[in-house]
Amino acid sequence: MKITIETQSPDMEDEIIIRCAEADEEIMELIYLIKSRRKPLTAYADNGIVKLSPKDIYYFESVDNRVFAYCETQVYEVKQKLYELEEMYPYSDFLRISKSVIVNVSKIALLSTAFGAKLEAKLKNGEKVIISRQYVPDLKRKLGLDEGGKR
Amino acid sequence: MKYISEFIKYFCYITTGIVIVSGITVLPNEMIRSATILQSVFAGAITALVTTILLTGEPKSKKDIIFRMGLHYILLCVIMVIVGFVFNWIPRSIIGVIFMVISVGIVYIFVTLTYAFTSRKEVNELNKALLKKYRNKEE
């Protein structure tokens, strides 16, 4: 894919033009990636409401019907359910890894086997989350290891 | 489907473990009889079923995993002691019970190590793919 960057005068709005024969899955992924990185998420902290950039979120966890967004050091509550977050950020780096956790795959530092034949993801902030066996095929697809599967 | 494939995997590992333990400890001076093999398959099926039910579900935390594995080991010991008594693998005494608890421990270690070994290759592939994908993105 050829990428061309044209500079323009600072007073004009930034614009991305995609020229392609067909908007295939790769192009759609690119579009969603650009859009989702700019789509902030409203989150709630003790001291008020904040707008979170998806790229700053390490993982979402559902606890007792409440959903929390975990950033590098802070934790915020969000009003969306996990499945709504999945729908909000398709083709993004977010991936469901268990019934209660969606992880930002780009924040995974290392994967390892965990006690009890599970997988464990160590995140770049040092936290660890458990990956359920049933979601490992999705992780493989996300990382391009299962070319035959649907992405 | 997930439970069936997990059951088959555990069944193969556990039955192999039981046959190996039978071969090296239970019958040191004898050939293994065909009845013993069938009994081992039966014991493997029951224990694999319990293993699938207890370990395939989603754990909430590391503590939950440790609790499940502890409970799993105790259940396996109870099942195998009963099976051992029924099939006359062990004498009906405290020595027989201790012997079976140790044997279950050996099979447990064998299955855990086999599972860890097969998972390690998968994890290495995933880590390589992770590094490749996000190193490219960062560049």
Residues 108-137 of A with CB under 8 A from B: 108, 110-119, 130, 132-134, 136
pLDDT for the residue numbered A96? 94
- Distance between start and end Cα atoms, chain B: 40
Between strands A41-45 and A108-114, the pairing is unpaired
pLDDT for the residue numbered A149? 47
**pLDDT confidence band for A150 (50 / 70 / 90):** very low
Angle at B127 between CA A28 and CA B123, to 5 degrees: 115
- How near does any CA of chain B get to the CA of A139, in Å? 8
Angstrom CA distances, B26 to A71, B11, B124, stand at: 55, 20, 38
Partners of A118 on chain B (C-beta within 8 Å) are: 59, 65
Helix ranges (H only) for A2-117 are 25-38, 82-88
- Does position B53 have pLDDT exceeding 80, yes or no? yes
Matching residue, tokens 């960057």: A5
Angle at A86 between CA A18 and CA A93, to 5 degrees: 55
A143·B133 Cβ contact <8 A: yes
- In A, minimum Cα distance to B114 occurs at A117
B83 and B39 Cβ atoms separated by less than 8 Å: yes
* Residue B65 structure tokens: 């995993």
Q: Domains of chain A (ranges plus CATH)?
A: 25-143 (2.40.50.1020)
What is the pLDDT averaged over residues B43-56?
84
Write the ipTM: 0.73
Give the DSSP H/E element, type plus range, for residue A68: strand A66-70
- Dump pLDDT digits (tens) for A90-107: 778 899 998 899 999 999
Q: Which residue has the higher pLDDT, A69 or A117?
A: A69
- Dump pLDDT digits (tens) for B58-112: 666 777 778 888 888 899 899 889 988 888 888 888 998 998 899 888 888 887 7
* Residue B77 structure tokens: 């010991």
- How near does any CA of chain A get to the CA of B69, in Å? 7
The distance of Cα A22 from the centroid of its chain, to the nearest Å, equals 26
Of A111, A114, A132, the CB nearest to B130: A111
pTM over cut 0.80: no
> What b/e readout covers A20-30, taking b as 16+ CB neighbours within 10 angstroms?
eeeeeeeeeeb
Lowest mean pLDDT among A102-106, A129-133, B2-6: B2-6
DSSP SS3 for A9: coil
B126·A139 Cβ contact <8 A: yes
Of B112, B120, B129, the CB nearest to A143: B129
- How near does any CA of chain A get to the CA of B93, in Å? 32
HEC letters along chain B = CHHHHHHHHHHHHHHHHHHHHHHHHHCCCCCCCHHHHHHHHHHHHHHHHHHHHHHCCCCCCHHHHHHHHHHHHHHHHHHHHHHHHHCCCCCCCHHHHHHHHHHHHHHHHHHHHHHHHHHHHHHHHHHHHHHHHHHHHHC
Tell me, what DSSP letter sits at residue A42? E
Residues paired with A98 in a beta bridge: A101
